[in-house]
């Protein structure tokens, strides 16, 4: 079955990472109930996504985000040090600070967030700079047809066609859930691709590169569909419905 946290090395449904995650919860003993629930959601997410019975999804976790990172821990980036590079097939490369981004026009969207593995968070408020505005600032060369995103986690990548990237509901998000994007949610700056499954919304955004062709991203190299419109069958090699 499709899983976001699929680990080729993990054969058993409850892998080492989950065990370590649950151990980590012990350290959360003194923090608030919300944080504890978030920690529990994060620890259970790998179980949930490999749960063939669907029973785990009946646990009272609420409609909360699950913490996802393909690289384990990611070093926090200080807001003052943050830079977003815009490069590739452009007339003017860019290097935006958080203050630069905050000074640009902000767009707000309220949408459901949908992970391809089945969880959904209703009515999430997002705001940030339209990706289209950053692309226009850079001035794409005629040969550019796609945009590739990189993360300062050093591993995760995503991409969109240039046409998709110019949609008004694709944001370089500075705020989500009524506050600055937290580190765990990919702050200080993450991508938010409203009409597509969550895996397009790359966290810890550090680079935007205009490219000649669409280059499949991290999960797409591992079977997810490059076209991730919510509601699409998301055909995977191992998905019998595709």
Give the residues lining the site for Mo ion (CB under 5 A): 4, 115, 198-199
Cβ-proximal residues to 55 (8 Å cutoff; 6+ apart), any chain: none
Query: In the bound complex, what is the minimum distance in angstroms from residue 66's beta carbon to Mo ion?
Result: 8
Please provide residue 85's backbone torsions phi and psi, each rounded to the nearest 5 degrees. -90, 135
Query: What is the CA angle 187-190-195, rounded to 5?
Result: 140
Query: In the bound complex, what is the minimum distance in angstroms from residue 122's beta carbon to Mo ion?
Result: 16
The 10 Å CB-count burial string (b at 16+, else e) for 168-197 is eebbbbbbbeeebbeeebbbbbbbbbbebb
Question: Position of tokens 């370590």?
Answer: 20
Query: In the bound complex, what is the minimum distance in angstroms from residue 124's beta carbon to ligand MTE?
Result: 10
Query: In the bound complex, what is the minimum distance in angstroms from residue 59's beta carbon to ligand MTE?
Result: 17
For residue 172, what are the β-bridge partners? 129, 191
Nearer residue to ligand MTE within complex by CB, 203 or 236: 203
Enumerate binding residues for ligand MTE (CB under 6 A): 4, 65-70, 115, 151, 153, 156, 185-186, 198-199, 201-204
Look up residue 90 and give its DSSP letter: B
151 interacts with, out of ligand MTE, Mo ion, none, CB within 5 to 8 A per kind: ligand MTE
Nearer residue to ligand MTE within complex by CB, 39 or 140: 39
Look up residue 181 and give its DSSP letter: P
Nearer residue to ligand MTE within complex by CB, 137 or 169: 169
Nearer residue to ligand MTE within complex by CB, 82 or 204: 204
Query: In the bound complex, what is the minimum distance in angstroms from residue 136's beta carbon to ligand MTE?
Result: 25
Nearer residue to ligand MTE within complex by CB, 167 or 183: 183
204 interacts with, out of Mo ion, ligand MTE, none, CB within 5 to 8 A per kind: ligand MTE
Cβ-proximal residues to 118 (8 Å cutoff; 6+ apart), any chain: 57
């Amino acid at each position: 079955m499709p899983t976001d946290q699929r680990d080729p090395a993990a054969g058993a449904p409850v892998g080492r990472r989950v065990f370590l995650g649950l151990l980590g919860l012990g350290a959360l003993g003194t923090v608030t109930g919300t944080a504890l629930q978030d920690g529990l959601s994060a620890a259970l997410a790998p179980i949930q996504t490999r749960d063939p019975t669907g029973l785990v999804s009946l646990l009272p976790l609420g409609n909360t985000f699950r913490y996802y990172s393909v690289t384990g821990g990611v070093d926090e980036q200080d807001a003052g040090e943050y830079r977003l590079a815009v490069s590739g097939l452009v007339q003017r490369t860019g290097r935006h600070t958080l203050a630069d981004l905050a000074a640009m026009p902000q767009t707000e969207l309220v949408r459901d967030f949908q992970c391809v593995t089945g969880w959904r968070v209703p009515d999430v408020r997002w705001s940030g700079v339209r990706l289209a505005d950053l692309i226009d600032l850079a001035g794409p060369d005629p040969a550019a047809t796609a945009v590739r995103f990189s993360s300062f986690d050093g591993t995760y990548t995503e991409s969109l066609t240039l046409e998709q990237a110019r949609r008004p509901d694709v944001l370089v998000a500075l705020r989500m859930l009524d506050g600055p994007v937290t580190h765990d949610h990919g702050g200080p700056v993450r991508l938010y691709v409203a009409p597509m499954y969550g895996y397009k919304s790359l966290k810890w955004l550090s680079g935007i590169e205009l490219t000649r062709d669409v280059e499949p991203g991290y999960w797409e190299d591992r079977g997810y569909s490059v076209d991730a419109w919510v509601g699409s069958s998301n055909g995977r090699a191992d998905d019998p419905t595709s």
